[in-house]
């Protein structure tokens, strides 16, 4: 009796499906492999996500934005009377300080002339508004409305009136991402104001504090010491305010940043002169 | 007959996915939980689509959403992309065994997939990209999933029967 051979054949649609799914998996592994290295295609994808996806999704989330703004306004309106009293007291206090500041400023000028000292070492590149935030679940990243067109480059320092905010990453023509200093992958070199202790700090587990990842000579600072950028890594300008030491543990110290990351509306991109 | 042809729930599900994606990636400080809720419902919708409306093109959908979730939330590609694709692959492989189960049991399985996908995303992000596995965030997401799971499944079943 002759054997019957069954030959399995794939229909063209099934073949297409299999090829597509295999291609997607292949592409996935290629993307994952190159994701941590700055290759051209990954950078392009990041630019697309920065520019186009943001613009499209912003349209969809307009109602949410509206509700969010409304709730902020209602809150502010409720606190109006309290804020008014606080501001009145602050004006009184500031007026006293103003007189003192004017005196000090003129003294400072004279002393600077005597010492032949230069002014601060910061050059303002651009003041930009925060247009999107993604600092809830994983990375601590914000998007700003300034990019290569405005003279921004990778790894520039972003500050606000309170101190260090983060650094620029993934720039596109009109938009950039700022990796906040509270991100666990953001490492910055810092020192105490007294120049005694040098360390590297990164974002801590709670997403609020910064924690030291390396301390030079294992010298521990004191609680209450002010932390500024050291400028030794040549990424950030030196002496930018970062925060205050609030907790010490075994071989580690915790810093509370001066910047209120829930209330960032504008940032200034600066570099060393 | 014409209305049957015009109405296709898959299109609605894809619109829902896009809407939830848009809200999830735009964090509003004042509406923190809305973001988290949308993030969780996105996962429920995706698993639901994979179970009841499986099509090979879902791999493409998972690929695109995975990439952009990763790039926007983490800045590197891997956790969401890998999770979405492996989720689809597992569902494709075990679907034949699940077809005879009653809807309640399938709902439990969908919830299990939701739980494991969120867990997998967070664990991959912590292993590969040094993002701490924030247990509080994980519990919050699971708690949100528990609250919204039944209403969402009920809503989807109504959408299917339209």
**pLDDT for A158 beyond 60:** yes
**A13 CA to centre of own chain:** 48
Structural domain contains residue A30: no
Residues 6+ apart with CB under 8 A from B134: A205, A207, B122
**pLDDT for A111 beyond 60:** yes
A28 contacts chain B (CB < 8 A): yes
Q: How many residues does chain B have?
A: 162
Task: In whole angstroms, give the CA distance from residue B64 to residue B14.
Answer: 12
Structural domain contains residue A253: yes
Structural domain contains residue A168: yes
Q: According to the model, what pLDDT value does residue A171 have?
A: 86
Q: Cα(first)–Cα(last) distance of chain B, in Å? A: 13
Task: In whole angstroms, give the CA distance from residue A15 to residue A20.
Answer: 9
Structural domain contains residue A202: yes
Percentage above 70 pLDDT, chain B = 96
Tens of pLDDT along B76-119? 888 999 999 999 999 888 888 877 788 888 888 889 999 999 99
Tens of pLDDT along A18-62? 888 889 999 888 888 887 776 777 888 888 877 788 778 878 878
**pLDDT for B49 beyond 70:** yes
Task: In whole angstroms, give the CA distance from residue A127 to residue A121.
Answer: 17
Task: In whole angstroms, give the CA distance from residue A254 to residue A243.
Answer: 10
Tens of pLDDT along A175-214? 889 999 999 988 889 988 888 889 999 998 888 899 998 8
Tens of pLDDT along B20-42? 999 888 887 777 788 899 999 99
Return the CATH number at A208.
2.40.10.340
Domain count, chain A: 1
Residue B58: give the domain boundaries: 2-160
Q: According to the model, what pLDDT value does residue A35 have?
A: 76
Contact in structure between A99 and A248 (CB atoms under 8 Å): no
Task: In whole angstroms, give the CA distance from residue B88 to residue B51.
Answer: 9
Q: Is the dihedral of CA B48, B51, B57, B63 positive or negative?
A: positive
A130 contacts chain B (CB < 8 A): no
Q: According to the model, what pLDDT value does residue A162 have?
A: 86
Residue A128: give the domain boundaries: 124-272
- Would you call A141 and B75 a contact, using CB atoms and an 8 Å cutoff? yes
Structural domain contains residue A108: no
Q: According to the model, what pLDDT value does residue A10 have?
A: 60
Q: Which residue has the tokens 């920065």?
A: A50
Tell me the shortest Cα–Cα distance from A168 to chain B, in angstroms: 13
- Would you call B130 and A205 a contact, using CB atoms and an 8 Å cutoff? no
Residues of chain B contacting residue A28, judged by C-beta atoms under 8 Å apart: 63, 66, 81-82, 85
Structural domain contains residue A262: yes
Cα Rg of chain B, angstroms: 16
Contact in structure between A135 and A165 (CB atoms under 8 Å): no
Structural domain contains residue A167: yes
Q: Taking all residues of chain B, what is their mean pLDDT, rounded to a whole number?
A: 87
> Span A7-28, mean pLDDT?
80
Tell me the shortest Cα–Cα distance from B3 to chain A, in angstroms: 28
Q: Is the dihedral of CA A224, A225, A226, A229 positive or negative?
A: negative
Q: Which of A36, A58, A205 sits opposite B76 (nearest CB)?
A: A36
Pairing of strands A122-134, A141-144: antiparallel
Q: A84-98, B65-79, B96-110, B112-126: lowest mean pLDDT where?
A: B96-110
Tens of pLDDT along A115-151? 665 556 778 888 999 888 888 888 899 989 888 889 8
pLDDT class of A106 with cuts at 50, 70, 90: confident
Among A35, A45, A37, A43, residue whose Cα is nearest residue B78: A35
Task: In whole angstroms, give the CA distance from residue A79 to residue A192.
Answer: 37
A138 contacts chain B (CB < 8 A): yes
Residues of chain B contacting residue A72, judged by C-beta atoms under 8 Å apart: 30
pLDDT class of B1 with cuts at 50, 70, 90: very low
Tens of pLDDT along A220-237? 888 888 899 988 777 788
pLDDT class of A5 with cuts at 50, 70, 90: low
pLDDT class of B2 with cuts at 50, 70, 90: very low
- Would you call B68 and A20 a contact, using CB atoms and an 8 Å cutoff? no
Structural domain contains residue A64: no
């Amino acid at each position: 009796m002759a054997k019957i051979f069954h030959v399995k054949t794939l229909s063209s649609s099934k073949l297409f499906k299999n090829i597509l799914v295999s291609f997607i998996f292949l592409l996935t592994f290629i993307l994952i492999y190159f994701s941590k290295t700055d290759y051209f295609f990954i950078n392009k994808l990041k630019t697309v996500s920065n520019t186009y996806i943001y613009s499209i999704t912003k349209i969809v989330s307009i109602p949410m934005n509206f509700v969010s703004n409304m709730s902020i306004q209602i809150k502010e309106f409720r606190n109006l009377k309290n804020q008014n009293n606080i501001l009145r007291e602050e004006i009184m206090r500031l007026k006293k300080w103003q007189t003192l500041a004017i005196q000090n400023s003129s003294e400072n000028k004279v002393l600077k002339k005597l010492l032949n000292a230069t002014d601060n070492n910061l050059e303002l590149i651009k003041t930009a508004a925060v247009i999107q935030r993604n600092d809830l679940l994983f990375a601590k990243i914000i998007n700003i409305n300034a990019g290569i067109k405005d003279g921004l480059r990778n790894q520039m320092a972003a500050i606000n009136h309170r101190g260090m905010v983060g650094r620029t990453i993934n720039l596109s023509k009109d938009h950039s991402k700022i990796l906040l200093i509270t991100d666990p992958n953001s490492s910055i070199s810092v020192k105490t104001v007294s120049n005694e202790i040098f360390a590297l700090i990164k974002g801590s587990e709670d997403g609020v504090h910064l924690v030291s990842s390396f301390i030079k000579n294992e010298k521990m600072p004191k609680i209450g010491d002010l932390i500024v950028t050291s400028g030794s890594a040549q990424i950030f300008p030196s002496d930018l305010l970062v925060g205050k030491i609030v907790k010490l543990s075994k071989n580690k110290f915790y810093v509370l940043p001066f910047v209120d990351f829930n209330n960032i509306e504008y940032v200034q991109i600066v570099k060393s002169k | 007959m014409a209305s049957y042809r015009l109405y296709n729930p898959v299109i609605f599900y894809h619109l829902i996915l896009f809407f939830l994606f848009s809200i999830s990636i735009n964090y509003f400080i004042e509406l923190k939980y809305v973001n988290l809720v949308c993030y969780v419902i996105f996962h429920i919708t995706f698993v639901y689509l994979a179970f009841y409306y499986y099509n090979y093109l879902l791999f493409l959908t998972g690929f695109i959403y995975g990439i952009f979730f990763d790039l926007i939330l983490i800045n590197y590609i891997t956790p969401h992309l890998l999770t979405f694709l492996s989720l689809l692959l597992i569902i494709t492989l075990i679907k034949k065994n699940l077809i005879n189960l009653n809807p309640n049991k399938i709902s439990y399985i969908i919830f299990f997939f939701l739980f494991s996908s969120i867990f997998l995303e967070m664990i991959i992000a912590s292993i590969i990209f040094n993002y701490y596995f924030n247990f509080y965030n994980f519990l919050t997401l699971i708690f949100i999933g528990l609250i919204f799971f039944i209403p969402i499944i009920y809503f989807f079943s109504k959408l299917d029967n339209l």
